Amino acid sequence: MSPWLPLVRPGDWAVAGLAAAAVAASFPLVWQGGAAEKAVVRRDGEVVAELDLSRKRTFEVAGALGATVIAVEPGRARVAADPGPRQYCVRQGWLRRPGEIAICAPNRVSLQIAGRKNGFDSLAY
């Protein structure tokens, strides 16, 4: 028998169990930002399009420098091409969580994922 077991009293088991349940419950509670439903495309901060994330398509926005190409697939979207010099928004890749945003600042275009309820204002990595 383990020498550690007698050190744990009945209430300890209960408290540890309760704590474990609370920890397990906190993951989905905090980490579900709601399902991604649409991609919001903005130019100069104004919404130009709200793309449905249920089917595949591409969308082009004319920005300050040229056309930004947005690719949509079921459940995700990305900036496929952008005339910006550093390509940050393109390299960000697929966005799938509500609140995630790719900003093509030189071209003044942004792409943001939106869900039914947005857990956060924006997410950027």
Partner 1 sequence: MTRSPTDAAAHALATTADDHRIARLAAAAIALSLVDAAIPLPLPGVKPGLANIVTLLVLYRYGLSTAAWVSGLRVVAGGLLLGHFLAPGFFLSLTGAAVSLAALAAAQHLPRRWFGPVTLSLIAAFAHIGGQLLLARAWLIPHDGVFLLAPVFFAAALFFGIINGLIVARLLGAGAEPGTERQHA
Q: Does 20 bind partner 1 (CB under 8 A)?
A: yes
Contacting range for partner 1; rule: CB under 8 A; set: 2-10, 48-56, 66-74, 106-114: 2-10
Nearest to 123 by CA among 86, 98, 106, 87: 98
Which are the contacts of 93, defined by CB distance < 8 A and separation ≥ 6?
78
> Nearest distance from residue 28's CB to partner 1, in Å?
9
Structural tokens at position 34: 């709601």
Number of continuous H segments (helices) and E segments (strands) in the chain: 2, 7
Q: Which of residues 32-71 bind partner 1 (CB under 8 A)?
A: none
Contacts of 45-51 with C-beta under 8 Å, sequence gap 24+, read 50/114, 51/77
- d(Cα 78, Cα 104) in Å, to the nearest integer? 11
Contacting range for partner 1; rule: CB under 8 A; set: 25-33, 34-42, 47-55, 71-79: 25-33
> Nearest distance from residue 123's CB to partner 1, in Å?
8
Q: Does 1 bind partner 1 (CB under 8 A)?
A: no
Q: Does 22 bind partner 1 (CB under 8 A)?
A: yes
Residues that bind partner 1 (CB under 8 A): 3-4, 6-12, 15-16, 19-20, 22-23, 26-27, 30-31, 119-121, 123
